[in-house]
Amino acid sequence: MTIDSSKKPLIEIKDLVKKFGNFTALSGVSLDVYPGEVHALLGDNGAGKSTLIKVLSGVHPPTSGKIYVDGQEVKFSTPRQASDLGIGTVYQDLALNALTSVTRNFFLGREIKKGPGPFGIMQMKEMNKITIEEMAKIGIDITDPEQPVGTMSGGQRQTLAISRAIYFGAKILILDEPTSALGQKQQMEVLKTIKDVQKLGHIAIILITHNEIHARLISDRYTFLSLGEVIGRGMAEELGGDDIKRLMAGGAEIGDLRDELGV
């Protein structure tokens, strides 16, 4: 995949700083994400990935720094405002209710209805149709949208959460460890889904992962975090496997590690 150099980043983060009291979680992180591109955010535990996501999704306000969406500087302080700006976050727990149907989950909190307030009648047929269509767009055919989410595989649930975020206007999709809790096969399913979202072309994806192999399968661009700072970045083509391994481990040379372990 080649990136058109004239493309403008959908979301630009400049010198983002986040402090919790005396603790500096992020010290000047910058990041560009382009539409139709998977941007892998890699780093060890405590590197600041989670904090960065929480700032981007409106859970924590940044201490300083600027965020541009579509070239416009934006400020937000609640998850609602972030999602109104098109930043959709798919958390690890996916925010699904396993006991109710796929459709009811897809439209949870944003049901299509006719009638007064919360007592409006849900338009189940229309909602079912949209659910099937939207999930098919990113590669999962569900025959029965009335089946409980509990009967779906972990991969299908990821797809449901992702397609839901996209349908409700996410242009910037933040995926928080989407493959971590899954088996091999379902991991591949999810990666395929991400690839399909990428092919849609207008969505910028930030992929947070621990898994170097998964990152290499689908990512176009990398940013490596360590102790709240960017310690490396680059296009997929520029980085070799050893570079990625080294940067993921927080910059330690594999050789050093070998020495330390005495292998």
Partner 1 sequence: MNSSATQQPQRQESDRQAKKKWYSSILARPEVGPIGVMILLLCLLGYFSIPEGQFSLNPFSGEGFNALGIRNNFRIIAQLGILALGAGLLIIAGEFDLSIGSMVGFAGCVMAITLKWGFAFVIPYISFAGGPHIETIKIFAITDVSPLTAIFITLCFTLPFGWFQGWLVVKTGIASFIVTLGGLFFLRGLTMVSFRAFNRAPDQTAGSTTVTDLPDIKNIIKVPGHGEMEREAAKALPNDQLLDILSTVPAQTVAKIAEKLTYVNEKVALYKTISNKSKMIQSLERSLEGAKKSNNESMIEILTKKIEEGATLPDVTAKAVTDLDIARTYIDTIVTARPVANFFGGDIMEPIFDWLYYTADWNVNLYGNQFAQGMYSCLMIWFLLALVCYFVLSRTQAGNWIYSTGGNLSAAQANGVPTNKVKISLFMFTAFCATMFAASQVFEVNTSDAAKGNLKELEAIAAAVIGGVVLTGGFGTVLGIILGAVIFGIAKEAFFYIPGIDGSFYRVFLGAVLVSAALTNENIRKRVIGSV
Residues in the site for partner 1, rule: CB under 8 A? 79-80, 91, 93-100, 104, 107-111, 113, 115, 118-122, 148, 150-157, 185-186, 188-189, 192, 217
Nearer to partner 1 by Cβ, of 71 and 120: the residue is: 120
Q: How far is the CB of 181 from partner 1 (least distance, A)?
A: 9
Of 66 and 137, CB closest to partner 1: 137
Structure tokens at 140: 């999962």
Q: What's the gap between Cα 13 and its chain centre? A: 15
Instruction: Tally Cβ neighbours within 10 Å of residue 153.
Output: 14
Nearer to partner 1, 115 or 262 (CB): 115
CB of 160 to partner 1, least distance (A): 12
Query: Closer to partner 1 at the Cβ: 217 or 231?
Result: 217
| Shortest Å distance, C-beta 188 to partner 1 | 7
**Among the residues of the chain, which ranges form H helices?**
49-56, 79-84, 102-106, 124-137, 154-167, 184-200, 212-218, 241-248, 254-261
Tokens of 128: 């079912």
Minimum CB–partner distance for residue 139 and partner 1 (Å): 11
3-state DSSP call for residue 160?
helix
In the complex, the smallest distance separating the C-beta of residue 217 from partner 1, rounded to whole angstroms, is 6
Alpha helices in 168-253 (DSSP H): 184-200, 212-218, 241-248
Of the CA atoms within 13 Å of residue 250, those in its CB half-sphere come to 11
Smaller CB separation from partner 1, 209 or 226? 209
